[in-house]
Amino acid sequence: MDYEFENGRRYHAYKAGHYPLPNDESELDRLDLQHHVITLLLNGELHLAPLENPKRILDIGTGTGLWAIEMADRYPDAIVTGTDLSPVQPTWVPENVRFEIDDVESEWLYKPNSFDYIHSRYMIGAIEDWKAMIHRAYKHCKPGGYFEIQELDPRLGSDDGSVVKSQMHLLYTTKIVEASEKYGKPVPVHNEYKQWIEDAGFVDVKEYFFKIPVNTWPKNKQLKEVGKYQLINYTEGYEGIGIGLFTRMLGWQPTEFQVLLARLRQELKDRTIHAYQPFAVIVGRKPFPSGSRQPTPGSRQDTPASTSGLHGTSDQSSTSSIHERRSIPELNAYGRHGDVGNENAAVVSTDAVPNNAAFKPCRLPTILNPHPPFERI
């Protein structure tokens, strides 16, 4: 398939211009690194939906296909289909993986009620109408099946106010959001997705907010590791993420953009800036028709997958304490239960955050084995 080239970067030709990021080797390497960042953040888990022996899985915007390939290995009885605008996926894959060139914003060609699980990750900048996309997911999800969104919010935050020193990074992320809006692909705030998923008809919707540090400033070893790889991700990847949006939509010259990048890369290394970006995971279940009492296909009810690094199994006789059917503790409006809330915690989990609520840090429920709090440097 032909490609298009601009500013020394390669872009997809199918529906050219529909997605503003490149698809060359540098970007593909970055996408694989990004996958590692999120897997590390989630303690090795690929999803938080409570899946059990799913048969059909759809990964929209599959990119390099790494998530789909790992899901196929984890669920060998499932057929995993990954779709993308770019034909950049490998050909040597598990026999239960399928890759298709398709546009998620066009009408899906699958039959309704086809999938036990539909997964969407890092689609910011690619979606014009999030509500329409979520409604398509609802239409094609089986009754009892799950839909999960995992998305970064690029807007920077810090608990101690040190983010104000990150002038170049704040400029970059602000302009990315502005340019995406002009491009017709608005970037949602991290706490907007849940309402849209509920409005589409999904039930038992859970949302979990994580913080991704932008460098190695946390003292916690795991979060420092996350920050180490995120620093590489941004140092090497911010050019590809931004150059198309800055030059096409904001009128910047490539040389102006490169000057910003040079200053930003120096700033990213400053460990006195305790900056992070919210990462949201939202899971919803498609209900059965009224009056139906059928068991949920390919899923476990009410309990999210553990983020302990252990994986589920389809063998019902093989269970561990991590898969005990326990309910999540009831949370208040900011995700706190009792006095467990910690203003410096690394992870937020909440089932009832108002759309206009501030990003409030607290711990995940015990069953999710949360990260320890951020520690000051």
Q: pLDDT tens for residues 156-183?
A: 999 999 999 999 999 999 999 999 999 9
Interatomic CA distance for residues 83 and 102, integer angstroms: 6
pLDDT at 224 > cutoff 50? yes
- What percent of the chain is predicted at pLDDT more than 70? 71
Contact (CB, 8 A) for 48 and 148: yes
CB 290 within 8 Å of CB 276: no
In eight-state DSSP terms, residue 295 is P
- 65 vs 80: CA distance, rounded Å: 10
Q: Output the six-digit token pair for 15.
A: 């529906």
Strands 203-213 and 347-350: antiparallel
DSSP 8-state class, residue 241: H
pLDDT in tens, 117-162: 999 999 998 899 999 999 999 999 999 999 999 999 999 999 999 9
Buried b (16+ CB within 10 A) or exposed e, 167-205: ebbbebbebbbebbeebebbbbebbbbbbbbeebebeeb
Give CA–CA dist 229/234, Å, rounded: 9
In this prediction, residue 6 carries a pLDDT of 63
Q: What is the pLDDT of residues 14-44, one digit of tens each?
A: 555 565 667 777 778 888 999 999 999 999 9
